[in-house]
Amino acid sequence: MSVRARPLVIASANGHLHRNGGRDTCVERAFALLASGADVVGALVAGVTIVELDPADTSVGYGGLPNADGVVQLDACCMHGDGRRAAGVAVLEGVATAAAVAHRVMLDTPHHLLAGAGAQAFARSRGFPVVADLNSERSRGLWREWKRRVDARQPSDVDRASVGYAIGLEMSREGLIDRNHLWGTIACCGMGPTGSIGGVTTTSGLAWKRPGRIGDSPVLGAGMYVRAEVGAAGSTGRGESNLYGLSSFLIVERMRAGAHPKDAAIDALRRVTADTVDPGLLNDRGEPNFNVKFYALNAAGEYAGVALYGGDDVQYAVCTENGAELLTCDSLLTGQMF
């Protein structure tokens, strides 16, 4: 694009909560790079890498909450609007910076998704350090407490996943796990000064997930979607709900039809609510017992952050020429999710 645009970065709240000992948060780093003319996806990857490497955030990268076996498995994807390119990695072990690996897949291969041992081998071939364990002391301790509670209930293999999920909700209610991080993830979308739009999503996924589970984050159209002439949408929260409805794709297509980012994202939340019929995923009001959040921007520079359930602590991050700030998400439903 040749027109001048207002640089903008929008992300989940953890995009402006962690610095990993440095000066900048994710959205600040990404915005500074965009404003200086850096490639949009490269700038966003540089931003989310800060969070992936910070063990204070248990939803991504190093110190992300592990799967049911205590192994940290990461998913990520990136999309470049102008370049019409995208790629992701799934079930990646041993490499904290999953978004950067996805970026290299996009740049160096014709593929859209690499998974498991193949994703790890690709990362190693590109010089990424591979370590034996991405757990921090905190994430390992939380997993041990979760496993102790599950084992005490002696569930069958069939029931283990539902029991494990219930205990995750229990630990959330007790404040052992941030209720915003049970499902993990940082989503970050941005627009550069030439109007170039991109998006990145990276996650350690649902806490205590079944080994090998892949969420929405690495799947194009589910956890992230970008169209150069329209805008971008990313998500955090329960990945299966976004996979079922391809929520990010839906939001971008609603924006293509003229909807404001807020209205498009609220419409996707209505779809998630209508599609949630499993009794195990409903609270006593018959509404979802999980949260889903969307972060969307359009080519005109309008943006929004929305959530199924809101509250003062349900926020999203934005950075413009006026600096970075946390804003409260608009919400669809009232009351507590569980």
Helix (H, G, I), strand (E, B) or coil at 65: coil
What is the pLDDT, as a whole number, of residue 4?
Answer: 57
DSSP SS3 for 330: strand
pLDDT along the chain (338 residues), means of 10: 73 97 98 97 98 97 97 98 97 98 98 98 98 97 96 88 89 87 90 97 95 96 98 96 97 98 98 96 94 97 97 94 97 89
Contact indicator for 202, 60 with CB cutoff of 8 Å: yes
pTM of the model: 0.96
Q: For the chain, report the end-to-end CA distance as a whole number of angstroms.
A: 46
233 close to 87: Cβ distance less than 8 angstroms: no
pLDDT given for residue 186 in this prediction: 97
Check residue 338 and give its pLDDT.
75
Given 3-state DSSP classes, what are the helix, strand and coil percentages for the chain, each rounded to the nearest 5?
Answer: 35, 25, 40
Which distant-in-sequence residues (6+ apart) come within 8 Å of 154 by Cβ?
A: none
Eight-class DSSP state of 175: T
Alpha helices in the chain (DSSP H): 26-35, 40-52, 98-108, 116-125, 137-153, 157-173, 239-245, 247-256, 261-275
What CA–CA distances, in Å, run from 310 to 179, 270, 336?
12, 14, 9
Q: What is the dihedral sign for C-alpha 164, 61, 183, 145?
A: positive
Ordered domains of the chain (ranges, CATH): 8-135+178-333 (3.60.20.30)
> What pLDDT score does 2 carry?
36
Across the strands, what pairs with 12? Answer: 316
- The strand order across the sheet containing 186-191 reads 113-115, 85-92, 74-80, 197-203, 186-191, 8-12, 315-320, 323-328
249 SS3 class: helix
Q: What is the DSSP letter of 282?
A: B
- CA distances to 57, 105, 173, 193, 288 from 61, rounded to whole Å, are 8, 18, 24, 29, 27
Tokens of 250: 């839906």
